[in-house]
Homo-oligomer: A and B are copies of this chain.
Amino acid sequence: MEKTPRSFIREILKTTERSEVISFAGGLPNPSLFAVEALATAAQDVMADAGRAALQYSTTEGYLPLREFIAERYRQRLGLSVNPDEILITNGSQQCLDLIGKIFLNPGDPILIERPGYLGAIQAFSLYEPAFRPVPLLDDGPDIGYLKAMQEEAPARLFYGVPNAQNPSGITYSEEKRRAVAAALAGTGTIFVEDDAYGELRFDGRRLPPIRRYLDDATIITGSFSKIVTPGLRIGWVAAPGEILEQITVAKQASDLHSNTLAQRIIARYLETNDIDAHIERITRVYRAHRDLMIAAIEEEFPEGVRYTRPDGGMFLWVTLPEGCSTMRLLEIALQENVAFVPGRAFYVDGGGDTAMRLNFSNASEEGIVEGIRRLGTAISTFVR
């Protein structure tokens, strides 16, 4: 436990509870897009039709019709052949990381992560005290030469990555990089943990095949309804080869028996009776507009020499200030201006990211984005002239 990093985000979020603060810090979906009425109807129907079953203990694996929906969607969207028996329902995809850490990691085991990497994964895996080996992210995915060199030194137990609209950088791996990652891991015994939280939130360009397509028996995919339906119900899943899934299931049972029965049934009912593709299209239209608006505002308000990614999906922009401009110090000034973000340093296990910051564009309103970036520009101007 002592080695677990305290959550920057949790501490920052506390300071952003003041209503006057415009926050680009969290990773929250935009609540104006929640299908409140449709989900309320689904809840009512589940309680009316199967109330006693929805309120009772249920299986660790999760509600079968929901697992069938996920399997069918993998087949249709990604051409992946996943059996419902190879899917386990979890408390959001965050729990997948904990369960994977539990079954795979012993203290000191090498684990590859992206640099910068998802803070929640760093926190989840840290509890198992692995040796983190960060692989630099380039514009189109991991640095393959570096990855190969690391693997030659000693193959890692796991490689945790977010190939679609990565958190925090917004980067999407190119198809070539996906193949190259798979090739670098194939036969080494390293399992790729493919976090696909944002794959459905793709704004531009065609959908790319998951790495699992190239590394079938050594890939664990994690997924989530948090970004496309609701995060409050904490329903995610893990899809893994049978033998691995069996171990994950035993760990899940020991951890909390099973996921919320009612929530699983509400989401399954909602998916049966609503057009999820149309809903996702609504979300991506808004997020794409938010991204464009944030980039336009940055170009307007931020000084020369500031660089930023232009993500083709997801919820985050990654901004880099000129040399010497610490975003930790900037945060203090920004909070005085009532605007918040997460400093880059939170996403590095080995130091770094001092001049970077993660900006969330999904949660704020359009007015909030314009005004928040204006305030941030004011704060940055105290460093950069």
Contacts and interface: CB of A to CB of B under 8 A. Distances in A.
B36 A55 contact: yes
B34 A250 contact: no
B10 A36 contact: no
B98 A127 contact: no
Interface stretch (A88-96, A130-138, A326-334): A88-96
A312 to B, nearest CB: 24
Most chain-B Cβ atoms within 10 A of its Cβ — which of A27, A98, A257?
Answer: A257
Contacts of A261: 232-234
Interface residues of A, number: 62
B43 A47 contact: yes
A311 interface: no
Contact of A258 (B98, B234, B263): B234
Given A247-B1, A256-B94, A232 B54 contact: yes
A53 B90 CA distance: 21
Interface of A: 1, 4, 6-7, 10, 26-29, 31-32, 34, 36-37, 39-40, 43-44, 47-48, 51-58, 60, 90-92, 94-95, 98, 102-103, 120, 123-124, 126-127, 226, 230-234, 247, 250-251, 253-263
Given A1-B250, A255-B255, 6 more contacts: A40-B43, A55-B232, A127-B251, A232-B262, A234-B261, A263-B263
